[in-house]
Structure 1
């Protein structure tokens, strides 16, 4: 079970925040155990320890059925992840906003914050949709793992603990991306080019959404990877 924990790809909120362009490179991540210790409450740590302490189960007569279930789960997960990425990224690239961003725009008497209102709305809608769909797929993937042998069922239980424990810390960091994007970044781009700032900020917005999607998918990719080697 301790080996399975390594497949749970932990990335801190600070690393996500630093994916915006022109930010300094992130420092090397500390060991996984140190990251967890810094982010888990003691009650969560107890639940995590209990999940990790589950005894290993030897192969049983049901192993051939579990192998078949893993193949089914792999096929399903690959298709579901590909479809999710494609549909979410299509939503990121709003054609009307992209067309507006491509045109030079002088603000005139319009405040920058007012000009950014449609962009803020788009970003908030994409974040909400992304969270709902990724969380739903994660829950469904865990359900598949529970039928793929004892080790993967234990991993699904462990992932449930981690999701619940870390959600409260991740949410404020993810919500704070909008303040940076439409505050510091927008102001900087407008100061650099008062005509073409929308194109620069649109690129930032797209990259921020893609980075957030990659961040949110990390635990799902860890679960999917475990289907290839359930030891």
Structure 2
């Protein structure tokens, strides 16, 4: 029985770079200024609160942190949760790499079947569900982490408390924007799925016989390559989702450095 390839987790890379490597560049919207893009994101109902927050941030000087607050707690929290997210992603790909069936409704990859090679809507549907489930879980984990970090920032001095309050005001709007933006990824991955399956069908036709699903998961097999590509996109998506949280940590470090 063919042995499925065992893969190491892909190295982190930017989402734009990963999509470019895979030939999956999304169509770019016309460039707009930061102010224009921010204005589109902010609901009028929150404009007054946001304006007050931005004005108050400019009036509050950096202050020294208390000894028990000047720790790497928030940074350790972010890195620990990031490792957990990446481990969950890696584990979700392991069953398919070992040729084991995936439990129904789980975060595990669908099992390879002869019909998978058709790469039609029915063949793609399980992978669409898999990626969408992963995105939902990432969003949930990032939301919990964001709120935990805000709690730590809220007690790290007036300036950072204001930053935490600003983040709370924008959280829902920015999360919706990210959700809509990242929703294009499954569609881009479907194009990659169709391309690789088409290459395998052409190879089968040239060989004069059909390949077995087990061989698709061997090193270099079309489905093994697709799994690897999808994992790379997920890892890059984690980094993208965590960027705003890293920004909050950078603000905390800046206050620490400015403290006398």
Deviation at 1:48, TM superposition (A): 2.0
TM-score (norm 1): 0.75
- Alpha-carbon distance change, 141 to 109 in structure 1, aligned in 2, over 3 angstroms: closer
Structure 1 unaligned regions, length at least 5: 1-14
Q: Deviation string for 1:18-69 (max 9, x for gaps)?
A: 752213497997553333123323333333222101162357xxx55x3425
Q: Return the alpha-carbon distance in structure 2 between the equivalents of residues 17 and 58 of structure 1.
A: 37
Superposition map of 1:14-93 within 5 A: 19-20=18-19, 21-24=22-25, 31-54=33-56, 56-58=59-61, 64=64, 66-72=65-71, 75-93=72-90
Q: Return the alpha-carbon distance in structure 1 between the equivalents of residues 195 and 134 of structure 2.
A: 24
Instruction: Decide which of 154, 168, 178 is 1:170's aligned counterpart.
Output: 178
When you count helix as a share of all residues, which structure comes out higher? 1
Q: Return the alpha-carbon distance in structure 2 between the equivalents of residues 225 and 197 of structure 1.
A: 41
Give SS of 1:227's match: helix
Q: Return the alpha-carbon distance in structure 1 between the equivalents of residues 70 and 77 of structure 2.
A: 14
User: Which stretch of the first structure deviates more once superposed, 38-47 or 91-100?
Assistant: 38-47
Q: Deviation string for 1:77-103 (max 9, x for gaps)?
A: 2222222122211221221123459xx
Answer whether contact 2:200 2:222 (CA < 8 A) is retained: yes
Q: Which has the larger radius of gyration?
A: 2
Quick check: 1:190 aligned with 2:197?
yes
User: Which stretch of the first structure deviates more once superposed, 141-150 or 33-42?
Assistant: 33-42
**What is the number of residues matched between the two proteins?**
207
Instruction: Decide which of 151, 154, 170 is 2:159's aligned counterpart.
Output: 151
Deviation at 1:114, TM superposition (A): 4.0
Give SS of 2:187's match: helix
Could you say what the CA RMSD is over the residues aligned between the two structures, in angstroms? 3.1
User: Which stretch of the first structure deviates more once superposed, 125-134 or 106-115?
Assistant: 106-115
Answer whether contact 2:85 2:138 (CA < 8 A) is retained: yes
Give the corresponding residue for 1:137.
145
Give the corresponding residue for 1:205.
230
Structure 2 unaligned regions, length at least 5: 1-13, 101-111, 202-215
